Structure 1
Amino acid sequence: MTSAPLRVTRHDLPVIHPEGERTLWCDITVPEVVSRGTFLIAHGFKGYKDYGMFPRLAWTAARHGWTAIRFNFAHSGMTRADSTFERPDLFALDTWNRQVSDLDQLVAAVRAGGCPECPSDGPLVLFGHSRGGLASILAAGRGLAVDAVISASAPMDPLRFTDEDLRRLRQEGACPVESSRTGQVLSVGRAFLDEVELDPAGHDPCEQASRMAMPLVVVHGASDETVSCEDGLALAKASGVDPVLIEGGNHVFNVANPFHPEDEPSSQLAALENVILDVLRTF
């Protein structure tokens, strides 16, 4: 597949958190026509905006007339450098509420005309992968102002930790997690656990999926060995929708990292793209 490259605009969006101002590092892929709306791409745990399929999904949405924003969460530990977690100190502060706040502030910026190339009055569709999907559901269940949510490979448990990890969080205030991509040992902080235990309903994706006022599409690879497709079935059941199971799909829909947007996609990624385009065509 060859065509003229699409323009990508960098935008560093300031967001406010309890400790002060942080940054959402955004890449905005711009369609060649008047934009029909904005497509947001939320990455997962230890992920980042340039991982694997995300540039391809942004490219596909833009080719179909949508402005696409992929971004690094403010406490992902990632900045504009994709080879390392430059801010492990921020990673250690991450919680679900902080991710929900990022989504709230990003959507508010789009609605207020504060994101370049994004139509402030157009529809807004949120795609979240893995824990990004869980965060998207939590945000939408709490009232995020988007028009549809697509959750891919999302877990149903906000505390996917071993018993030993939970013990460390409670007794030591942190637990280590290794990035197989960079080799760094990062740290999850006690606040991640405390927040969920203080408000279990607010962090239950099945509960929040049932409260969503906008459509939810649940997609899962049928061969996902990282997050079982049973999680996708449970999320879909909670929201009263039929899940979309992609045959042979693993956790990342059989996409290598890195992956060039114009390379031939796996059949599983092509199937995911078709699901996304079906949603975008409804607006």
Structure 2
Amino acid sequence: MNIDKNIILERKDKKSILIDTFYSEEKINQPIVIFCHGYKGFKDWGAWNLMAEHIAEAGFCFVKFNFSHNGGTMDNPIDFPDLEAFGHNNYTKELGDLEAIINWSQSHFKTNPNVNISDINLIGHSRGGGITIIKASEDQRIKKLITLASVSDFGSRSSISGDLKDWKENGVKYVLNGRTKQQMPHYYQFYEDFKANENRLHIESAEKHLKIPHLIIHGSNDTSVNISEAKALQKWNPNSEFKVIEDADHVFNTNHPWNENKLSAALNQMLDAVISFLK
């Protein structure tokens, strides 16, 4: 398998993005599958590398990346050394990053016979699920969509809600990262950007507008994003497929770091559903 890690996509007047690609050099016309990590996530979190290899082995070109303002750096893509960038992140920046990755994928693999640049599919985890729903509803290049433990509403999230008066006066509010113990900033621009783009960022409208196949996957024991959010997505789009992974948590019973060389049972079950849907 061909694995390229930490490819740097440099952009004029915008932060660079780090990308990983996984594909077979023995197969031709492999569809592209682009993965978007979630809030306080990153491309190398937990078992995501194992997931990438698993999907690539099934005959796909798997692309994963760090959102430009996720808090990682080019030198340290894991965890959050750049909290200033994290504080300046917002949903429209993430949509712009995903656009850049789709464009890059089509350009990067243009002359590669192993990859089919006209067959692009998205997978989004948690907050990344919301981003992929919106992008898939806007971009006709996307053929299929899979969301994992996805949110169904940006407006009610902790990054938006709370005491707006204090947030505006202070210019920043902090969210504790339970794993790293960092106080992670959200500058008030996050709320201003959301309000300025509220129609575009309305996941319900995007879900109802989808014209492509959508597989919704959620764990029955998810305490981070309630399974009711997955049920809402399916209600808005009755043509979607809905798969519940019993006894699975928000990250399909994995954690970071994931030191095992094998998938958790829940992650394995989730990937079986993903690969079957993509094929």
Q: TM-score, normalised by structure 2?
A: 0.89
1:121 paired to 2:117: yes
The equivalent of 1:172 in structure 2 is 170
CA contact (8 A) 2:33 2:123 kept: yes
Match of 1:3 in 2: none
Q: Which amino acid aligns with 1:228?
A: N
Conserved? CA contact 2:15–2:68, under 8 Å:
yes
TM-aligned CA deviation for residue 122 of structure 1: 4.2
For the 8 Å contact 1:104–1:144, the answer to whether it is kept is no
Residue aligning to 2:276: 278
**Residues 148 and 22 of structure 1: is their aligned pair in 2 closer, same or farther, counting only changes over 3 Å?**
same
**How far apart are 1:108 and its partner, in Å?**
1.1
Cα deviation for residue 226 of structure 1 reads 0.7
Partner SS, residue 104 of structure 1 = helix
The one-letter code matched in structure 2 to 1:23 is S
Alignment correspondent of 1:27: 20
Question: 2:46 aligns to what?
Answer: 52
C-alpha distance in structure 2 between counterparts of 1:116 and 1:176, whole Å: 46
Single out whichever of 163-172 and 143-152 deviates more from structure 2. Answer: 163-172
Normalised by the length of structure 1, the TM-score is 0.88
For the pair 1:103 / 2:102, whether they are aligned, the reply is: no
CA distance in 1, matches of 2:245, 2:93: 31
Other-structure match for 1:258: 257
1:140-155 correspondence to structure 2 within 5 Å:
140-143=136-139, 145-155=141-151
Which deviations, in whole Å up to 9, do the C-alpha atoms of 1:30-72 show, x marking residues without a partner?
Answer: 3242251211111001100011231121111111121211110
- Structure 2 spans left out of the alignment, 5+ residues: none
Q: Is the 8 A contact 1:42 1:129 kept in 2?
A: yes
Q: Who is 1:73 aligned against?
A: 67
- Going from structure 1 to structure 2, the CA distance change for 1:15 and 1:153 (only over 3 Å counts) comes to farther
1:142, 1:280 → 2: CA distance?
Answer: 20
User: 199-208 or 108-117, which moves further after superposition?
Assistant: 108-117
Deviation at 1:176, TM superposition (A): 0.6
Quick check: 1:124–1:148 contact (8 Å CA) kept in 2?
A: yes
Give yes or no for contact 1:83–1:182 (8 Å, CA) kept in 2. no
1:135 Cα deviation (Å)? 0.8
1:190 aligns with 2:188: yes
CA distances 1:79-100 after superposition (whole Å, capped 9, x unpaired): 2525541221211111111100
The 5 A counterparts of 1:220-259 are: 220-240=218-238, 241-259=240-258
Cα pair distance change 1:252/1:144, threshold 3 Å: farther
1:155 partner amino acid: V
